[in-house]
Structure 1
Amino acid sequence: MSYSKKAELLEKPYLHLTDARQILGVAYPKFKPMWEQMIKDLEKESGQRLGQWNWGIPTEMICNYFRIDVERYKELAKKEKIDA
């Protein structure tokens, strides 16, 4: 997946498992247990029932948990457009 598409996904206020998996470039079987653990950890930390949200998990929480640098993805997307 291109950095432009990943940067676009990171602009969404909420992400689903598929979005996060695409951004990180991880296969579903390997990522599903990590996603479930993330939800448990974030629920414990925030006191909210995040796994029940139909609209997804807040992007900021996912980025903080997986240490995703949104600005870096934006820089790479700009570079990708210039090089294309």
Structure 2
Amino acid sequence: MNENIIEIDFTDEEQKKIEDYAGKHGLTVEETIKNALFEKIKQQGLSFVEWKEKYHKGWYLNTREQDENLFEEYLDYLKENKLNYNEVN
């Protein structure tokens, strides 16, 4: 099984809404779902401090150099998730 595939079950009502939206905007159902998931991820984007708190416990004990390295890692996290620094900070 491909671990990059997400299985989502929709109710009949949700499926109808997705299909209607896709039809009105000239999109496929898959594109509509992908766009919705991207927006949800973007809305849940973490600021640098939130990201450190979530992924690097004890970050406040870091030296300036360690914090700079974490910031580079954070920028990679944003890039991997196609997020813009200015949108989440």
TM-score normalized with structure 1 length: 0.31
Bigger relative contact order (CA 8 A; separation at least 6): 1
Give the structure with the higher percent strand: 1
TM-score normalized with structure 2 length: 0.29
Name the larger-Rg structure. 2
